[in-house]
């Protein structure tokens, strides 16, 4: 306890610096989830994508990041083991942020889309299991995280495959693709409106105190879906196409419609991502601030100091602006060739999977969800459409994320213990 009283300011300052590094890594790596498909399909240039993502990620993180956050992410460790030695929790959280932040920066430099959630979970498990007690870790929850490596990419891949194949059958493989697009695209617009409304309500607005019940959320989402579908129908009916235009010209016009849809879905995903994943950086930071300021008392939830959310939001935007293009290139161009309709299928599938996971409590990585969706779209065109070398590197990076985060965290934990104890 004396350690927290004597070095409290130094510990909070250190936690703020490494928390900023973690937020920087989240921006550099995870933002490709929202923007990678838009860039890969040429719906947006890389500069446009980064500018749009900066606005919506910042808005999501700052406006909807929450006034209160869980001090221990995902309930992955038992706080009872730290009641008598709260300084160990403080050291552990600082070590975890530093470990996960460093790994995310390295992975982003290499262009690997890894999971920021799994990075911080691996780091927290590492210091708790080795530095405190193996019993301090909720191993059942860790097993759920490992299981999600397979389950979530598979779910999003199947959904993306089905959405893309339905668009192929109903629109692109018909005698008059543009006429078919006029008939069916409003339904895709309504579906996108429904899913994106639910993502924003469940992952964004609940943090602002606008959380709704399930029935209210679904009712609002259905209302927005109908509105989007009707507006989409009116807009598409105004687009004129030369009756003599060949199929290639018709394809190009249909893809332009999907490109506009993609930009809207990307903005919603960026907002939802900013509001949700900023907690990976500010949760451990809030834990440090809470424990130090409350003289060693450990609460399951912590009210955020006024400076914590802006620090996380600015960190995400800085990482995105300086490093974001590398992972965007991997997801958008490296895995398979994307067009706006394929990118739209992937983005919508990823958002749908996020909704399913939220409703069922399935542990989820937005990165793995989107990569699975892009793989699903690629598989719809045959295995040859996938760059298997890139896919292999991505899967390896997923597998090594937990152990690397854990190893770095253990090392930093014992260094901090050696310095302060």
Give mean pLDDT, residues 348-355. Answer: 86
Among 9-18, 43-52, 247-256, the range scoring the smallest mean pLDDT is: 247-256
Query: Does residue 207 have a pLDDT over 70?
Result: no
Give mean pLDDT, residues 114-137. Answer: 90
pLDDT tens-digit map of 288-341: 988 888 877 877 777 778 898 889 889 998 998 888 888 888 888 888 888 898
Give the pLDDT confidence score for residue 218 in this predicted structure: 84
Arithmetic mean of pLDDT over the chain: 85
Radius of gyration of the chain (CA): 22
Query: Does residue 158 have a pLDDT over 90?
Result: yes
Query: Does residue 98 have a pLDDT over 90?
Result: yes
Annotated domain spans of the chain: 2-420
Among 91-105, 135-149, 400-414, the range scoring the smallest mean pLDDT is: 135-149
Query: Does residue 209 have a pLDDT over 60?
Result: no
pTM: 0.86
Query: Does residue 71 have a pLDDT over 80?
Result: no
């Amino acid at each position: 306890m004396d350690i927290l009283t004597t070095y409290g300011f130094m510990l909070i300052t250190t936690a703020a610096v490494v928390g900023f590094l973690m937020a920087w890594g989240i921006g550099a790596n995870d933002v490709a989830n929202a923007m990678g498909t838009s860039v890969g399909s040429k719906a947006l240039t890389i500069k446009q994508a980064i500018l749009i993502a900066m606005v919506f990620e910042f808005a999501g993180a700052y406006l909807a990041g929450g006034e209160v956050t869980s001090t221990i992410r995902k309930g992955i460790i038992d706080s009872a083991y730290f009641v008598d030695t709260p300084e160990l929790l403080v050291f552990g959280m600082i070590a975890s942020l530093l470990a996960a932040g460093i790994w995310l920066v390295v992975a982003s430099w290499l262009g690997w889309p890894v999971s920021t959630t799994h990075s911080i979970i691996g780091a927290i498990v590492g210091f708790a299991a080795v530095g405190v007690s193996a019993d301090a870790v909720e191993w059942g929850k860790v097993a759920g995280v490992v299981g999600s490596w397979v389950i979530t990419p598979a779910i999003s891949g199947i959904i993306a495959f089905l959405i893309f194949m339905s668009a192929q059958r109903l629109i692109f493989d018909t005698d008059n693709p543009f006429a078919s697009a006029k008939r069916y695209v409003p339904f895709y617009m309504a579906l996108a409106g429904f899913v994106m409304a639910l993502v924003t309500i469940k992952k964004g607005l609940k943090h602002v105190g606008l959380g709704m019940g399930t029935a209210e959320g679904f009712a609002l989402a259905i209302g927005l879906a109908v509105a989007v579908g009707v507006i989409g129908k009116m807009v598409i009916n105004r687009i004129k196409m030369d009756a003599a235009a060949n199929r290639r010209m018709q394809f190009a016009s249909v893809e332009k419609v999907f490109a506009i849809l993609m930009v809207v879905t990307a903005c919603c995903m960026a907002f939802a991502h900013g509001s949700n994943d900023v907690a990976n950086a500010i949760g451990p930071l809030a834990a440090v601030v809470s424990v130090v300021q409350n003289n060693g008392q450990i609460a399951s939830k912590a009210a955020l100091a006024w400076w914590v959310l802006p620090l996380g939001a600015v960190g995400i935007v800085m990482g995105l602006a300086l490093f974001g293009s590398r992972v965007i290139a991997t997801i958008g161009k490296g895995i398979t060739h994307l067009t706006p309709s394929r990118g739209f299928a992937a983005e919508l599938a990823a958002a749908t999977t996020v909704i399913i996971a939220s409703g069922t409590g399935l542990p989820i990585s937005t990165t793995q969800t989107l990569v699975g969706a892009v793989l699903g779209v690629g598989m719809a065109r045959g295995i040859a459409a996938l760059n298997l070398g890139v896919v292999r590197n991505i899967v390896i990076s997923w597998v090594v994320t937990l152990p690397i985060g854990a190893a770095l965290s253990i090392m930093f934990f014992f260094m901090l213990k050696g310095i302060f104890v």
